[in-house]
Amino acid sequence: MAYRVCPWWLGYLLISPLRRMQYRPEQVLAAHVREGMTVLEPGPGMGFFTLELARRVGPGGRVVAVDIQPKMLARLKRRAQKAGLLERLEFRLAQADSMGLADLAGKIDFVLAFAMVHELPSAASFFAEAAAVARPGARLLLAEPVGHVKKEAYESELQAAGGAGFRVVERPAIRRSLAALLEKS
């Protein structure tokens, strides 16, 4: 699949209240994120899910938001500050070929990969990096939009995840998405 990154200005559409008609972050995340967890969110954009993740991990948890676009992270930081959640978030600027997370090896409890793996140059590299930072038993929710990602490409992503040590434990229903809950062995 071609490597194509969502332009930063599209982030405003992705945090639009209209998007909540399709996805409700609290419903998508309710079964997966608890207080005290350390969560990785690659490609958070301007934080459609990030702020809810920060609410769910509580003051004792942490959300690591990683993006390759400084403007996305700057706007996310501003939104988090306005929501009073800034102290629960860590912002990292990634490179196109690496999230730069070696210092988090074995510390991540949950990874939210929502509508972003298809934008990466290598799904296999992404899942290998996610597996390296995930503790044994950590979960990863992979969701891709049906309008952008064909079923064959999604299955290829799942194979890459399997090669990195993740196994499918559930296929949750997420509106207009191909979705799987994975667990690191």
Question: Residue 13 corresponds to which tokens in the numbers above?
Answer: 């559409």
- Binning pLDDT at 50, 70 and 90, where does residue 154 land? very high
Q: What is the pLDDT of residues 10-37, one digit of tens each?
A: 554 555 565 555 668 889 999 999 999 9
Q: Report pLDDT for 1.
A: 37
Q: Report pLDDT for 18.
A: 55
Identify the weakest region by mean pLDDT among 98-102, 145-149, 163-167: 145-149
- Binning pLDDT at 50, 70 and 90, where does residue 73 land? very high
Q: Which domains does the chain have, with CATH numbers?
A: 24-184 (3.40.50.150)
- Look at 176 and 23; give whichever has higher pLDDT: 176
Report the mean per-residue pLDDT for the chain: 90
Phi-psi region of 58 (alpha: psi -120 to 50; beta: other; left: phi over 0): left
Q: What is the pLDDT of residues 42-61, one digit of tens each?
A: 999 888 899 999 999 999 99
The pTM of this model reads 0.89
How, if at all, do strands 38-42 and 62-67 pair? parallel
- Binning pLDDT at 50, 70 and 90, where does residue 155 land? very high
Tell me the helices (H) and strands (E) count for the chain, helix number first.
6, 7
Q: Report pLDDT for 147.
A: 85
Q: What is the pLDDT of residues 82-118, one digit of tens each?
A: 999 999 999 999 987 899 999 999 999 999 999 899 9
- Binning pLDDT at 50, 70 and 90, where does residue 2 land? very low
The closest alpha carbon to 132, from 158, 168, 92, 101, belongs to: 101
Q: Report pLDDT for 10.
A: 56
Angle, to 10 degrees, between the axis of helix 151-163 and the axis of helix 123-133?
Answer: 40
Q: Give me the mean pLDDT over the 129-135 stretch.
A: 98
